[in-house]
């Protein structure tokens, strides 16, 4: 999609607005009330500037053309409180009553860059959380009667806020009791359970104490932007980096995934192809206790936050990092090993498009079907803009897989598996569609001015002109819906699965730093430096140290080539299966702030086929198989059971009763698994046996392949016009 001229215009406007706001008189925020008994988290000058500019951007350029007013302020307050304490386990009724004074003032505060209210609310929450940890740790060694018929209410969402800490103590004590019962049912001794739970709470307490103003600001901004629409998001710098790495499927570092365990950073996985993999000196389970940049001094990182440690280990490709490591299996008191690595660009192949080939038999005839699993629509825009001819992208990866399936595997059909694909690059959705249709419109985009632009695949020819299918589910969203919708509208293939998510909006990623000229960044840096005593940001001595983060702003809405929006309604498959996910809990139509569904005129596109006559037979055959399928029978039972459990808010604290309930559930699950395994010619398993990956069975995929088999047989001499590609008779 060519947003170039539009983006350039917006950039000029953004620059004027942003610069004017920064130059405006800087009003001092109201004094933030201090919460006694804890270390108070305070906002910094940078965050005060960001909140003002995000308000400006939303009011000026969000697709909804919304004004930040008292009504929005009220929504933000409710969402913010809920995000901190959704289960009503920490705040008191008196706290909530006190917060009411902010209900209709947050809008004005944000416009003035005043964050004192939300940061005060967080500090009250932190105090209550600290009280919870202190009380619960003291209760772990208490004597409990696990034969009582009491219950633990784990979901207090619909209950009133507790009137006192004493009232909450009862809930917290029962929570400790429930966790001890769980540990006991796992087979541990009483002494070991006390030790395990104590360490768990101490670790939670330690990590919570490391919360900084960036964490609080992100929680607040999530509540703010979600009150506008579900997909406008602001990211603090570290979250922005994570988002862009996910989009590009690459990062620069040593190629290891890390996790925090008892205050120590542990390697959870070595990523194939990276420096750590090539060097063969690091292993999963190794613990990193210190980091040095190049030949510099080592810095001890034990007890650090994981995200801070990650930033120390990551770095530009070609640079050197040294690690002090305690190898897996050795005591922490052992002498550390020093490992030196040169950082490289890591390509996350495990999160990229992959292929496999399966053979099915339909009415005595074998068909080879290639399945391409696509987890997201990704592209390394940074590498592409830098002129890297080998930059990573969805379309490039899929094109290679299609060529391999066609020329090496000699498949009869291809299925694109978009289940769980939440979207990504709009540009990639368009170019990927172009691999399966000849030149023509792919998606229509209506911007905030009401102007409609038709975005086309401009490349003649197709990569695959044979039978084609697309699998979607409730988690398929955005770019996935553009692709599936275009394939469906063109009659290019069969869409199978359950109704998709329904995200029909387009977000533009805006680096807030790029909206400010260097002189403004210098002023911002100076303000942050002078404010360093009350904030937790680093001493910003120059503009390079200032990072204002990124906003993904909803600025347009996309429509299918036939004119219908996917917003709210998503894509309805040609052949519908029962959904694995609760439709009333997941989806755009469950979001209160979501944009509505609507229709615009269709674009000038030419369908390659009309599959209506074929679809009727496919649906009939699939419905018959599903009605007789044991897998789908159990899926329907699971859906009913999930609805039943969703209404429950408490659990028994009688160990024998809880044990009996779980054993009955485990026995039911085991019997079910063995019934399914017998159906597939696999040996029965016993309680405690692990199911191998090879034994896993994807019945949704299996039914999709059977639909494709029917499609190829029922199509017969069905002719599909693919432009200057050879007409196909299936």
What is the token pair recorded at 415?
């299925």
11 catalytic per annotation: no
What is the bridge-based pairing of β-strands 468-472 and 494-497? Answer: parallel
What is the token pair recorded at 200?
């768990």
Q: Please compute Rg for the chain using Cα positions.
A: 28
> Which positions ≥6 away from 714 have C-beta within 8 Å?
614, 617, 618
Measured CA to CA, the distance from residue 376 to residue 327 in angstroms comes to 35
Q: Identify the active-site residue in 393, 478, 498, 579.
A: 478
Q: How distant, in Å, are the alpha carbons of 244, 410, 417 from that of 241?
A: 5, 41, 28
Q: Identify the active-site residue in 52, 174, 312, 503.
A: 503
Residue tagged 């695949």 (tokens): 457
192 catalytic per annotation: no
Helix or strand holding residue 637 (H, E): helix 630-646
Nearest CA to 262 out of 191, 306, 192, 200 is that of: 200
Helix, strand, or coil (residue 48): helix
Measured CA to CA, the distance from residue 619 to residue 576 in angstroms comes to 8
> Which positions ≥6 away from 479 have C-beta within 8 Å?
377, 421, 423, 424, 425, 426, 428, 429
> Which positions ≥6 away from 703 have C-beta within 8 Å?
496, 577, 622, 625, 626, 629, 632
478 catalytic per annotation: yes
Question: What single DSSP character describes residue 468?
Answer: E
Measured CA to CA, the distance from residue 509 to residue 94 in angstroms comes to 40
Helix, strand, or coil (residue 17): helix
What is the token pair recorded at 491?
């009659």
What is the token pair recorded at 469?
């299918």
**The dihedral of CA 16, 19, 25, 29: what is its sign?**
positive
Beta bridge partners of 300: 290
DSSP letters, 566-596, are -TTT----SEE---SS-TTTSSGGG-TTPPP
What is the token pair recorded at 573?
């498959």
Q: Which residues are catalytic?
A: 478, 489, 503
């Amino acid at each position: 999609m060519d947003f170039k001229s539009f983006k350039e215009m917006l950039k000029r406007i953004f620059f004027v607005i942003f610069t004017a706001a920064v130059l405006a008189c800087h009003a001092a925020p109201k004094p933030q009330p201090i919460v006694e008994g804890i270390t108070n988290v305070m906002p910094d000058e940078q965050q005060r500037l960001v909140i003002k500019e995000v308000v400006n951007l939303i009011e000026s350029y969000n697709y909804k053309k919304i004004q930040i007013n008292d009504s929005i302020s009220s929504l933000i307050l409710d969402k913010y409180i809920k995000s901190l304490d959704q289960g009503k386990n920490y705040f008191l009724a008196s706290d909530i009553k006190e917060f009411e004074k902010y209900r209709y003032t947050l809008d004005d505060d944000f416009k003035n860059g005043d964050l004192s209210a939300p940061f005060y609310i967080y500090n009250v929450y932190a105090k209550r959380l600290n009280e919870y940890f202190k009380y619960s740790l003291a209760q772990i060694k208490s004597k409990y009667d696990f034969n009582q018929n009491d219950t633990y209410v784990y979901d207090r969402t619909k209950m009133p806020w507790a009137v006192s800490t004493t009232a909450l103590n009862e809930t917290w004590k029962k929570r400790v009791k429930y966790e001890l019962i769980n540990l006991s049912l796992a087979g541990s001794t009483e002494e070991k359970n006390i030790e395990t739970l104590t360490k768990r709470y101490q670790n939670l307490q330690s990590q919570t104490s490391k919360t900084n103003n960036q964490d609080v600001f992100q929680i607040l901004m999530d509540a703010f932007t979600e009150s506008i629409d579900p997909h406008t998001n602001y990211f603090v710098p570290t979250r922005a980096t994570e988002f862009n790495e996910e989009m590009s499927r690459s990062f620069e570092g040593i190629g290891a995934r890390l996790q925090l365990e008892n205050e120590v950073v542990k390697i959870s996985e070595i990523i194939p192809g990276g420096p750590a993999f090539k060097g063969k000196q690091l292993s999963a389970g190794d613990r990193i206790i210190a980091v040095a940049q190049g030949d510099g001094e080592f810095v001890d990182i034990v007890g650090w936050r994981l995200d801070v440690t990650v930033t120390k280990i990551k770095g530009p490709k070609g640079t050197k990092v040294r690690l002090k490591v305690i190898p897996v299996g050795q005591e922490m008191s052992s002498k550390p090993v020093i490992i030196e690595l040169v950082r490289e660009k890591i390509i996350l192949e495990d999160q990229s498009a992959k292929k496999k080939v399966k053979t099915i038999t339909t009415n005595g005839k074998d068909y080879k079907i290639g399945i391409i699993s696509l987890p997201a629509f990704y592209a390394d825009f940074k590498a592409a803009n830098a002129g890297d001819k080998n930059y990573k992208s969805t379309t490039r990866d899929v094109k290679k897989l299609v060529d391999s399936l066609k020329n090496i595997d000699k498949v009869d059909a291809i299925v694109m598996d978009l289940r769980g694909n939440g979207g990504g690059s709009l540009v990639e959705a368009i170019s990927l569609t172009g691999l399966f249709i000849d030149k023509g419109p792919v998606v229509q985009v209506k911007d905030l001015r009401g102007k409609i632009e038709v975005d086309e695949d401009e490349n003649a020819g197709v990569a695959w002109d044979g039978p084609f299918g697309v699998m979607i589910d409730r988690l398929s969203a955005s770019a996935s819906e553009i692709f599936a919708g275009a394939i469906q509208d063109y009659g290019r293939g069969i869409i199978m699965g359950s109704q998709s998510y329904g995200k029909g909006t387009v977000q533009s990623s805006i680096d807030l730093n790029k909206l400010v000229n260097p002189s403004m960044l210098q002023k911002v840096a100076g303000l942050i430096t002078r404010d360093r005593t009350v904030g937790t940001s680093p001493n910003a001595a120059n503009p390079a140290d200032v990072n204002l983060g990124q906003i993904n702003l909803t600025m347009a809405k996309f429509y299918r080539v036939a004119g219908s929006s996917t917003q709210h309604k998503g894509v309805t498959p040609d052949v519908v299966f029962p959904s694995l996910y609760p439709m009333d809990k997941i989806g755009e139509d469950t979001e209160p702030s979501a944009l509505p569904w609507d229709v615009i005129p269709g674009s000038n596109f030419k369908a390659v086929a009309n599959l209506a006559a074929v679809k009727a037979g496919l649906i009939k055959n699939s419905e018959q198989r599903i009605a007789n399928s044991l897998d789908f029978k159990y899926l329907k039972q699971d859906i009913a059971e999930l609805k039943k459990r969703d209404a429950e808010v408490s659990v028994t604290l009688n160990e024998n009763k809880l044990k009996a309930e779980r054993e009955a559930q485990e026995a039911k699950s085991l019997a079910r698994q063995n019934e399914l395994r017998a159906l597939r010619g696999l040996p029965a398993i016993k309680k405690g046996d692990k199911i191998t990956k090879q034994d896993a069975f994807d019945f949704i995929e299996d039914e999709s392949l059977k639909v494709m088999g029917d499609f190829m047989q029922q199509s017969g001499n069905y002719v599909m016009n693919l432009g200057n590609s050879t007409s196909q008779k299936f």
